[in-house]
Amino acid sequence: MHVLSASIESKSDYLITLDRRYFFTEAIIRANLPIKIVTPKDFIVDNPLK
């Protein structure tokens, strides 16, 4: 989970990933992390270009 650690350490707002196997688990969801983990599609929908 070095990608998750790096994202948190760098104070990123988002971790954009298609890796549902590791990042969209109950443990990660319940961890109340200071970062939003989203798919590319969800990111684009939630953050449209202006």
3-state secondary structure of 37: strand
Average pLDDT, the chain: 92
Per-residue model confidence as pLDDT tens digits over 3-24: 999 999 999 999 999 998 999 9
pTM: 0.82
pLDDT, average across residues 27-38: 94
CA distance 14 to 5: 12
